[in-house]
Amino acid sequence: MSSDPQRLPKVLSIAGSDSGGGAGIQADLKAFAACGVHGMTAITSITSQNTVAVTGVWPVPGDSIVAQVRAVAEDIGVDAVKIGMLGTAPTIAAVGEALDLVGSVPIVLDPVMVAESGARLLDTEAHAALVELILPRATVATPNIPEAEALAGVDQQRDPALLARAVHELGPRAVVVTGGHREEAIDVFFDGREITELPGERVPGGSAHGSGCTHSSALATFLAHGFDPLEAARRAKEVATFAVAHGLHEIGGGAGPVDVLDVRARRDAVTGDRGPASPGGTGGLT
């Protein structure tokens, strides 16, 4: 861990914007705040979406992505990076260029490749660019089962340990195959040496929109705090589980967003149901 407990880490999200506030950079910034870092963003795409569907996607010009990263890197500094939705080969090329501006810092890649419906979100050119330009630079990659299958080039290979090994061969220092698409809520971590299972609680009825974004963002914050990748993955799983368990099922008509900040408790503090709010709030995380 870092030897300076007073240091406030700065973590950059390079990802898409979710107009519904449940996933993307909106989820990332909430996770950053909950985990005690200053959050920054470089937006890769604008989406029109809610809890039911994504109705539009507009990529941001590549030079804008590079400029966003340069602005924060030159003034504020970057202690870790989380990468989310990229979408197109030109966007991926721009992000590869932008990463040269942040120096040698931990990078967490959440390879947003497969929609909840099962539809592929990257065409062949973009897939190849992600594998060539971004994946080898990742400190930790965090695919779910369908994404790991897509990266590994296999179908219906549900053994997460085999998938973790296959993705690791593509270059990241470590891989976490997340357990959201399995009966058991177990993440599988592989760092090139050994497989480690990270068990967790399956939350019946939890709202999970944004859970992958929250998990990968939390993992980036713990790397920025100085934890090693395995411990960062353990802690990130706890954060994501909390966020799903407190999910806002009353928001929208579809899968509600996760709630890493325990907004209901903060609402009650503001309205007096639980007494006066503390200046920092609790957020439900300790």
From the list 149, 227, 151, the residue with the least C-alpha distance to 182 is 149
pLDDT category of residue 262 using cuts at 50, 70 and 90: very high
Half-sphere exposure of 138 (CA within 13 A, CB side): 31
pTM metric for this prediction: 0.91
Whole-number pLDDT of residue 33: 98
pLDDT tens per residue across span 138-151: 999 999 999 999 99
pLDDT in the model for residue 203: 80
> Does the pLDDT of residue 161 top 50, yes or no?
yes
- Cα angle vertex 151, ends 240, 108, to 5°? 40
> With contact defined as beta carbons under 8 Å apart, do 173 and 229 qualify?
yes
Q: Is the pLDDT of residue 43 over 90?
A: yes
For residues 151 and 171, give the distance between their C-alpha atoms in angstroms, rounded to a whole number.
11
Does position 244 have pLDDT exceeding 70, yes or no? yes
**Percent above pLDDT 90 for the chain:** 76
pLDDT reading at 266 higher than 90: yes
145: three-class secondary structure by DSSP: helix
CATH number given to 10-271: 3.40.1190.20
Separation between Cα atoms, residue 45 and residue 24, nearest integer Å: 10
Q: Nearest Cα to 82, choosing from 201, 190, 239, 273?
A: 239
Kindly report the CA angle at 50 between 44 and 54, in degrees rounded to 5? 55
Q: Is 58 helix (H, G, I), strand (E, B) or coil?
A: strand
pLDDT class for 286, splitting at 50, 70, 90?
very low
Rounded to the nearest integer, the mean pLDDT of the chain is 90
Q: pLDDT tens for residues 84-118? A: 999 999 999 999 999 999 999 999 999 988 666 55
Query: pLDDT tier at 279 (50, 70, 90 boundaries)?
Result: very low
Mean pLDDT of 47-63: 92
Across 44-66, average pLDDT: 93
Domain range list for the chain:
10-271
Angstrom CA distances, 159 to 151, 163, 186, 188, 203, stand at: 14, 6, 12, 10, 22
Q: What 3-state DSSP class applies to 257?
A: strand
Tokens of 242: 């909390």
pLDDT above 60 for 274: no
Q: Which residues are within 8 A (CB) of 226 and not within 5 positions of it... i.e. 6 or more apart?
A: 1, 2, 3
